[in-house]
Amino acid sequence: MEERMSGFFIAKAGNVRGGGGGGNNAGTGTKCGRWNPTTEQVKVLTDLFRSGLRTPSTDQIQKISSQLSLYGKIESKNVFYWFQNHKARERQKRRRVSVGEKNVIRRQDIFSSSARYYSELDLGSEPERVLETLQLFPVNSFRDSESEKLKLRRNECKEAHAFSYTCSTEMDHPPLDLRLSSCKQASDL
Amino acid sequence: MEERMSGFFIAKAGNVRGGGGGGNNAGTGTKCGRWNPTTEQVKVLTDLFRSGLRTPSTDQIQKISSQLSLYGKIESKNVFYWFQNHKARERQKRRRVSVGEKNVIRRQDIFSSSARYYSELDLGSEPERVLETLQLFPVNSFRDSESEKLKLRRNECKEAHAFSYTCSTEMDHPPLDLRLSSCKQASDL
DNA sequence: TCGCTATGAATGAAGG
DNA sequence: CCTTCATTCATAGCGA
């Protein structure tokens, strides 16, 4: 993945404690072993993401990071990682959340309450805060969004394994059988 | 003692208090806002963990959460976070013990050795418990257990290097213009 | 109520 | 791109 970055970072990136800053960090004022994005930085990044930017190119990363450096200490790799993580986590989150009630048979609580108590992050309730820097970015990376939909799961049937633990320790719960049958289980092993 | 709560709230759904008697929650009268595992759920998870499962795959997470949803409200991400935290904390605790007494005073928790946990869910100094159920688990989960003690990989970058503003010096860019001019231009829109 | 601990949740940073 | 590790934040639970 770093081949496209031309190696403008990825060195060792130790502690880049900006002692002279005195307030560059986010409100928490943590020990700064790693990048602590300020609210403005997060806002800009989130806005860019919402605008469709998912995999910025090297040039875009440069531009973004230099622009964001005005709000606080930041490096190019931070921007790179931010987009990587944000994209991956959005997908992961959707995946993990979606399965919540796909195959869950609730015997006692059929659609009672239990609303989405946690889906509150960026994409959901983020208001339209189009800041001034947003328009400057060309949102030409929309085609990247569709490429992700076309990809297929590579961890489908890597190892069809069934596990059931019924002999580990004293158990009060019934012997739970957690058969993993991702693709198909032709014959049980 | 300084307070680190300086604004910067991410967002959260309002805590919806269940009003005393929930239903599928644990006996402690928990409510929405944060997953509170029931005793059965904790037991199952702990049992799985003790059986050697440390990093369940996505499929396993799905299955486990589906099964555990019968004991109470749970989502897939809860299982994911549970294993992540459990593994991380076990390692963290062990590491703290190993480096031990002359360690630097990072924050405030060197006293963790005083309470050795009354519960059985914490292994403490138990390496890898190999029991007969072990073979039922995918080998995928075990390579993680073995590799963790073999590789002491990234734990070096805690020294001060502090050349933070190097990037801003290297990157020569227009101050307030983020237009992409030299890279691939946006064709559409 | 206050302080501390345990722990769920989030995220930056890497590895592969 | 996907997975994982480390660190941190936020909060429930409990004792003094």
Span B58-69, mean pLDDT?
91
Nucleotide C16's nearest residue (CA vs C1') is: A1
Q: What is the pLDDT of residue A96?
A: 75
| Residue B181 pLDDT > 70 | no
State the angle between helix axes of B76-99 and A76-98 in degrees (0 to 180), rounded to the nearest 10: 130
Separation between the CA of B101 and the C1’ of C9 (whole angstroms):
30
The minimal CB distance from A29 to the residues B4, B23, B32 is found for B4
| Residue A34 pLDDT > 70 | yes
Nucleotide nearest to A42 (CA to C1'): C11
| Residue B90 pLDDT > 70 | yes
Q: Do B47 and A171 touch (CB under 8 A)?
A: yes
The minimal CB distance from B6 to the residues A14, A18, A29 is found for A29
The minimal CB distance from A33 to the residues B76, B158, B165 is found for B158
Give the bridge partners for A179, in sequence order: A162
User: Residue B95 — pLDDT band, cuts 50, 70, 90?
Assistant: confident
Stretch among A140-149, A154-163, B158-167 having the lowest mean pLDDT: B158-167
Nucleotide nearest to B152 (CA to C1'): D5
CB distance A159 to B143 below 8 Å: no
User: Residue A17 — pLDDT band, cuts 50, 70, 90?
Assistant: very low
A19 → chain B, closest CA residue: B162
Higher pLDDT: B15 or A80? It is A80
Residue at B92: amino acid letter: Q
Higher pLDDT: A98 or B61? It is B61
CB distance A59 to A5 below 8 Å: no
Separation between the CA of A84 and the C1’ of C13 (whole angstroms):
11
Q: Do B136 and A165 touch (CB under 8 A)?
A: yes
Task: Mention every residue, 6+ apart, whose C-beta is less than 8 A from residue B108.
Answer: none
Calculate the average pLDDT of chain B: 56
A93: distance to nearest CA of chain B, Å?
8
Which among A6, A136, A13 has a CA at the least distance from the CA of A67? A136
Percent of chain B with pLDDT over 70: 33
User: Residue B153 — pLDDT band, cuts 50, 70, 90?
Assistant: very low
Q: What is the pLDDT of residue A7?
A: 52
Higher pLDDT: B108 or B42? It is B42
Span B80-98, mean pLDDT?
87
Q: Do B24 and A125 touch (CB under 8 A)?
A: no
Chain B residues with CB inside 8 Å of A76's CB? 167, 171
Higher pLDDT: B47 or B28? It is B47
Q: Which two tokens stand for residue B118?
A: 């009354």
A84: distance to nearest CA of chain B, Å?
19
C strand bases under 7 Å from protein CB? 4-16
A24: distance to nearest CA of chain B, Å?
13
Q: Do B32 and A117 touch (CB under 8 A)?
A: yes
B136 → chain A, closest CA residue: A163
Portion 88-147 of B in contact with A at CB < 8 A: 120, 131-133, 136-140
Residue A66 forms contact with B (CB below 8 Å): yes
Q: What is the pLDDT of residue A95?
A: 79
Q: What is the pLDDT of residue A178?
A: 55
Task: Return d(Cα A52, Cα B189) in angstroms, integer.
Answer: 13
Span A142-168, mean pLDDT?
43
Stretch among A12-21, B35-44, B100-109 having the lowest mean pLDDT: A12-21
Q: What is the pLDDT of residue B89?
A: 93
| Residue A169 pLDDT > 60 | no
A59: helix, coil or strand?
A: helix
| Residue B82 pLDDT > 70 | yes
Q: Do A120 and B173 touch (CB under 8 A)?
A: no
Q: What is the pLDDT of residue A152?
A: 41
Which among A9, A16, A66 has a CA at the least distance from the CA of A41? A66
A114 → chain B, closest CA residue: B32
The alpha carbon dihedral of A85, A161, B76, A112 has a sign of positive
